[in-house]
Structure 1
Amino acid sequence: MALGDSQTEGLGDGDDLTGLRGWADRFADHLVRHSPGLRYANLAVRGRLAHQVRAEQLAPALALRPDLVTVVAGMNDLLRPRFDADEVAGHLEVMFAALTAGGARVATLTFPDLTRIIPVARPLSARVPALNARIRQAASRHGVTVVETVHHPVVTDPRLWTPDRLHASPLGHQRIADAMAHALGLPGSDDAWTRALPPPDTQAPGTRQAAIAELRWAATYLGPWLARRLRRRSSGDTRTAKRPRLTPVHPPSRPPTAQPDRDTPHPAKEPT
């Protein structure tokens, strides 16, 4: 079972017309190859803050009595003006405690350095390590497995992110799924997800090109995101979980493949 926000829902990997996949679905595909009869639910909804994940998803998760649960939340909180690392980690810890007390094995992950992905986020640079430290502490108290993505430079490679820079690309989602499998010690998993991608086919943009790209990104993604914040709206206001019940996962005909390890275009996604 997967709890969380847009990253766990799968934004950046598919679309709302053809269906979202995402790292949690890819991880379930890995699991079912070793656990025939696996049933899987994904309660994640885009735009949710940590307290909303706790309020809306914890009780339904406990009612379904899962054996394995992933809990990933806090990125949306990081981007809010009134961010409180202790408060966010507190909501995560309540979920860790309740789920492990119910007999579930629980896994979570740390967050990458936002400033390597979004240069304008430098004023928020201290928030990520503060939250990551508290996630580790809460996880340690409840025997929760932590996927340490933050320690590996590849996680901020632009090719692992969609153009909005907030959601993983299909390749990025596959890397997260592989990281989760490796952290949990699943058969056939290894540390290949930590390895750097091959050099890109294109040269890095010059200073002027980079500046133009930043302005274009701000107009396309940052502006609409700020407008929603001012209106106190979220991209998930009318959304519900895509997979609210435990249903069977059918083994893929072959191991899931990500997009090639090179810079490829992705459809634009609006930040949550």
Structure 2
Amino acid sequence: MTVRFAALGDSLTEGVGDPVTGGWRGWAALLAPSLSPDPVDFRNLARSGALSRDLLVSQLPTALALRPQYAAVVVGGNDTLRASFDLERTSRQVAALLSSLTAAGTVPLTACLPDPGRLLRLPAPLARPLARRMRGINAVVHALSEHHHAVHLHLADLPWTRQRALLSVDRLHPSAAGHQLIARGFHALLAEAGHPVGPPPVDLPVRAPGPGANLWWMATQGTRWVAARSTDLLPGLLALATIEARHLLRGSSRRLDHAEAAATAAIISRLTAPSSKPPLPDPLATPPAADTRPTG
């Protein structure tokens, strides 16, 4: 019996940071052969720059047509890196993704994500708003994963900042070693949950980036990324940073944390209520423009 596995997501699931001849490999491709002792039909639908709405409108219909037994749904990082970020909207989109997949009998694989401000070592007025957004997304994904019985990997808890070898040169995506760690983590969780998986993913030889890798990445990819974020994220983030700096000077920054926590708890309560059925957003509606430029 062939097992079908569809991977929905952004650049992390596409495999950025784990280069192979002709493109990227990534954790989902590494995990796929280990999902079953039988043959596995794997389709990677993830695309760099994808937002939650992109998964819902563009990737989900293709995934459902495949009738997969497993589907990766790792998303949210790009949403937090947009000036148009709205936790309520993103949460409803993630809820709709998981609801649609589980209704079709698919087991979702989800993960919480590390704080990008911490990975990039941004100053506090810039890092704290991003961290607040990421905490909100992660809390929602935790709750929705439990609500929909997803296999959830605590990806944010991995030692990204302590083990530099786990990060690629852009400091936002896993390295080849990081992708292998994610694949093994999902395999272990599936085995613990009683899924009939095959042998764990094999350890592949990896080579750490050389001393000039950071300069090469900045010359070939990083400058484009910085320019893209300068026209989208940066103006909004600077406005948030101004507010954050004022609160830091007044010693009242915890008010923002408490407000974020209260808003997140309210969203979770609405989306996980027994009668809650998050509607699928209308693809023909006019939302904020989706930015599909690569984050890394």
TM-score, reference length from structure 2: 0.64
Counterpart CA distance in 2 for 1:75 and 1:156 is 20
Query: Structure 1 pair 153/219, CA: closer, same or farther in 2 (3 Å)?
Result: closer
Letter in structure 1 aligned against 2:229 = L
Contact 1:109 1:149 in 2 (8 A): yes
Counterpart CA distance in 1 for 2:199 and 2:82 is 39
| Deviation per residue, 1:166-210 (Å, 9 max, x gap) | 2211111111111111221245559x9xxxxxxx9xxxxxxxxxx
Letter in structure 1 aligned against 2:27 = W
Count of paired positions? 215
The answer on 1:225 being equivalent to 2:228 is yes
Partner of residue 72, structure 1: 74
The answer on 1:22 being equivalent to 2:80 is no
Residue of 28, 48, 51 corresponding to 2:50: 48
Partner of residue 132, structure 1: 138
Measured on the aligned residues, the alpha-carbon RMSD in Å equals 3.1
Partner of residue 143, structure 1: 149
Letter in structure 1 aligned against 2:120 = I
Query: Structure 1 pair 60/150, CA: closer, same or farther in 2 (3 Å)?
Result: same
Counterpart CA distance in 2 for 1:14 and 1:228 is 28
Residue of 80, 83, 86 corresponding to 1:84: 86
What secondary structure is seen at the aligned counterpart in 2 of 1:92? helix
Q: Which one is further off, 83-92 or 129-138?
A: 83-92
Deviation at 1:44, TM superposition (A): 0.7
Partner of residue 235, structure 1: 293
The answer on 1:94 being equivalent to 2:96 is yes
Query: Structure 1 pair 187/141, CA: closer, same or farther in 2 (3 Å)?
Result: same
Counterpart CA distance in 2 for 1:109 and 1:164 is 20
The answer on 1:59 being equivalent to 2:71 is no
Contact 1:111 1:128 in 2 (8 A): yes
Deviation at 1:129, TM superposition (A): 1.4
**Structure 1 residues without counterparts, runs of 5 or longer:** 193-199, 201-212, 237-270
Counterpart CA distance in 2 for 1:86 and 1:180 is 28
After superposition, residues 176-195 of structure 1 pair within 5 angstroms as: 176-185=182-191, 186=197, 188-189=199-200
TM-score, reference length from structure 1: 0.69
Letter in structure 2 aligned against 1:81 = A
| Deviation per residue, 1:34-64 (Å, 9 max, x gap) | 4222111111111111111110011111111
Counterpart CA distance in 1 for 2:290 and 2:113 is 25
Contact 2:34 2:199 in 1 (8 A): no
Counterpart CA distance in 2 for 1:87 and 1:48 is 15
Partner of residue 118, structure 1: 120
Deviation at 1:219, TM superposition (A): 7.1
Partner of residue 256, structure 1: none
Deviation at 1:155, TM superposition (A): 6.5
% same residue: 32
Contact 1:117 1:156 in 2 (8 A): no
The answer on 1:159 being equivalent to 2:165 is yes
| Deviation per residue, 1:217-264 (Å, 9 max, x gap) | 99746533325638986436xxxxxxxxxxxxxxxxxxxxxxxxxxxx
Counterpart CA distance in 2 for 1:40 and 1:108 is 17
Letter in structure 2 aligned against 1:58 = L
Asked which structure has the greater CA Rg, the reply is: 2
Larger relative contact order (CA 8 Å, sep ≥ 6): 1
Contact 1:139 1:145 in 2 (8 A): yes
What secondary structure is seen at the aligned counterpart in 2 of 1:83? coil
The answer on 1:12 being equivalent to 2:14 is no
| Deviation per residue, 1:121-159 (Å, 9 max, x gap) | 513121111111111111222111211122333466322
**Structure 2 residues without counterparts, runs of 5 or longer:** 1-5, 192-196, 209-214, 234-288
After superposition, residues 206-225 of structure 1 pair within 5 angstroms as: 220=223, 223-225=226-228
Residue of 2, 5, 12 corresponding to 2:7: 2
Deviation at 1:160, TM superposition (A): 1.2
Contact 1:62 1:102 in 2 (8 A): yes
Counterpart CA distance in 2 for 1:57 and 1:222 is 24
